[in-house]
Amino acid sequence: MSTIPAFGLGTFRLQDQVVIDSVSNGLELGYRAIDTAQIYGNEAEVGAAIAASGVRREDLFLTTKIWVDNYSPEKLVPSLKESLAKLRTDYIDLTLIHWPAPGNGVEVETFMKALAEAKAQGLTRQIGISNFNIELTKQAIAAVGKDAIATNQIELSPYLQNRALVEFLQSEGIHVTSYMTLAYGKVLSDPVVGAIAQRLNATPAQVVLAWALQLGYSVIPSSTKRENLASNLLAQTLRLGAEDMAQISALERNGREVDPAGLAPQWD
């Protein structure tokens, strides 16, 4: 079973001093899982913020993602070593294939085996996938075995619940990590979420994050505001009742926010 923290700090779209401040604030507030990626262009800044924080490396859980250009066996390990240098660490806790990018010239079996090799070399403790549909997850399992795949990090929010994929992943024992859990903030103004938040004396963000946590998913919300970083953490102790969960579950509308051509698979 994977040991992926339930709550982490995302850094997508955060650059330069903004990401340094977000990670610094997050670490001060008690976040210990940080999620980045090669394509975010902020690994060095994340590394600098961690180094300045004084938090011990063994108390942190770092995730990064291999970018499409680095999927070939001759590039994957060197690119991960570069990420390690930027992050100022000698290992990553979790390394993911960022997008399946079907048709980019590197087969799933090839890049999964290269990723497994990175693990064998001690560069990363766990490996996984991101944005894979059921069929491509099956191919990844065929390449390295389901026990090797710690998680599939997927877009998942009350507006996009990805039920078929989630059901498949859970049946295979592959952990679900939800990104874009707040649907770029769109669900925060949802009246159903707002009513639950008001009744529970919570923020809409806390309600939605608590919903995902109670379903057993890991979440990695990001924020540039210290008060939101602190507030989001409190979702971990918020308990939603069965009726609240059912009402949020009913918000499904296939509201996908991220679907880059050439990178994304055919969604389930």
CATH of residue 172's domain is 3.20.20.100
Of 12, 41, 7, 16, nearest in space to 223 by CA: 12
Task: Write down the catalytic residue from 31, 40, 71, 159.
Answer: 40
**Could you tell me the pLDDT band of residue 1, with boundaries at 50, 70 and 90?**
very low
Per residue in 149-187, pLDDT (tens digit) is: 999 999 999 999 999 999 999 999 999 999 999 999 999
Our count of domains for the chain comes to 1
- Residue 74 included in any domain: yes
What was the pLDDT predicted at 64?
98
User: Is 175 annotated in some ligand binding site?
Assistant: no
- Residue 65 included in any domain: yes
Q: Biggest alpha carbon distance in the chain?
A: 55
Whether 96 and 131 have beta carbons less than 8 Å apart is answered as: no
- List the domain range (segments joined by +) for residue 82: 9-185+217-222
- Is residue 232's pLDDT more than 90? yes
- Residue 197 included in any domain: no
- Please give the structure tokens belonging to residue 204: 């809409």
Task: Please report how many Cα atoms fall inside a 13 Å half-sphere around the Cα of residue 253, on the Cβ side.
Answer: 10
- Residue 168 included in any domain: yes
- Residue 238 included in any domain: no
Per residue in 67-102, pLDDT (tens digit) is: 999 999 999 999 999 999 999 999 999 999 999 999
- Residue 120 included in any domain: yes
Mean pLDDT across the stretch 112-122? 98
- Say if residue 188 is exposed, middle or buried (CB neighbours under 10 Å; 0-12, 13-18, 19+): middle
What was the pLDDT predicted at 103?
86
Per residue in 11-44, pLDDT (tens digit) is: 999 999 999 999 999 999 999 999 999 999 999 9
What was the pLDDT predicted at 3?
85
What mean pLDDT, rounded, does the chain reach?
97
Angle between helices 16-29 and 43-53 (to 10 degrees): 40
Distances (CA, A) of 185 to 13, 110, 145, 204: 14, 37, 36, 10
- Residue 25 included in any domain: yes
40 has catalytic annotation: yes
- Residue 85 included in any domain: yes
**Identity of the amino acid at 24:** S
Mean pLDDT across the stretch 190-207? 98
Pure H helices in 54-105: 73-87
- Is residue 2's pLDDT more than 70? no
Percentage of the chain with pLDDT > 90? 98
Whether 150 and 128 have beta carbons less than 8 Å apart is answered as: yes
What was the pLDDT predicted at 32?
98
